[in-house]
């Protein structure tokens, strides 16, 4: 499932995939794969992304029913 909330939050801060990747210590390809729904990140990576984007885990990663 695509993570459009992550992509939207990143874009709202005018961050590129590369800039977000650099801030959380992963590759741009990892951020791309998360946004496309091709990669399930670890909880630690999720927390790091949330801190950088100023969002909660629920806001970015909780699947709505």
Average pLDDT by consecutive 10-residue portion of the chain (65 residues)? Answer: 93 98 98 96 97 96 78
Name the residue ranges covered by the structural domains of the chain: 4-59
pLDDT of residue 22: 98
Distance CA 35, CA 26 (A): 14
Secondary structure percentages of the chain, helix, strand, coil, to 5 = 65, 0, 35
pLDDT of residue 65: 62
Instruction: Tell me how far the alpha carbon of residue 63 is from its chain's centroid.
Output: 14
Q: What token pair was written down for 44?
A: 């630690």
CATH of segment(s) 4-59 = 1.10.260.40
pTM here is 0.91
pLDDT of residue 12: 97
């Amino acid at each position: 499932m695509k993570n459009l909330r992550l992509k939207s939050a990143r874009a709202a801060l005018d961050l590129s995939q590369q800039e977000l990747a650099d801030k959380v210590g992963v590759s741009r390809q990892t951020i791309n794969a998360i946004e496309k729904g091709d990669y399930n990140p670890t909880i630690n990576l999720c927390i790091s992304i949330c801190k950088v984007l100023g969002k909660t885990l629920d806001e970015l990663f909780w699947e709505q029913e």
